[in-house]
Amino acid sequence: MAHASEVVVYTSVDQVFSEPILQEFETRTGIKLKAVYDVEASKTTGLFNRLIAEKPYPKADVFWNSEVGYTLVLKQKGILTPYRSPSAIDIPPQFKDKDGYWVGYAARARVLIYNTKLLKADAVPNSIFDLIKPAWKGKVALGYPLFGTIATHMAALYAVLGPEKTENYLRALKQNNVLIV
């Protein structure tokens, strides 16, 4: 934990986005922050594992995370402490933990990105399921699915589609030579 005059913030939120917010907090409150960022290659997972390892002697005062799945595990492991922020009073109950362990602060949309110089608008896939069609073989890239928001996306597919349909979809992507980046 930090000295009384400094708060240590572990954050998986990209520095380019989180730094201005942290600086504004410092300006408004006068409280000095020490930010610890996760590396892109292990997005969220690195800080998650660090928090578990540091459980007997915590160093972080705040965990600002962009992935609720890891936050739920930290709650189960007794690593988090509840806090009911007055700033979160207007956030609907379905977007925060009933026991005060976390508050959802953002929603994410999954979008398909394409090169407008290579593909006309009427040829753009309408669904992720279009990406397993032969026309897209070797033409699709996907973020590494074990970390960050891609891991959450995969978990959502399992929750919505069920294991069998999700695994069939992932196998079809693999057979269609999807590039993992």
Q: Mean pLDDT of residues grouped by 10 in the chain (181 residues)? A: 78 92 96 90 82 96 88 94 94 94 86 91 93 95 81 87 96 95 84
* In a shared domain, residues 127 and 79: no
The answer to whether residue 116 is domain-embedded is: no
Token pair of 24, please? Answer: 């504004």
pTM of the model: 0.72
Token pair of 54, please? Answer: 């540091």
* In a shared domain, residues 14 and 86: yes
The answer to whether residue 172 is domain-embedded is: yes
The answer to whether residue 43 is domain-embedded is: yes
The answer to whether residue 106 is domain-embedded is: no
Burial of 55 (0-12, 13-18, 19+ CB in 10 A): exposed
Q: Which residue segment(s) compose the domain that 134 sits in?
A: 121-180
* In a shared domain, residues 22 and 68: yes
Residue 5's φ and ψ, nearest 5 degrees, are: -95, 5
Residue 102: half-sphere exposure toward Cβ, Cα within 13 Å: 21
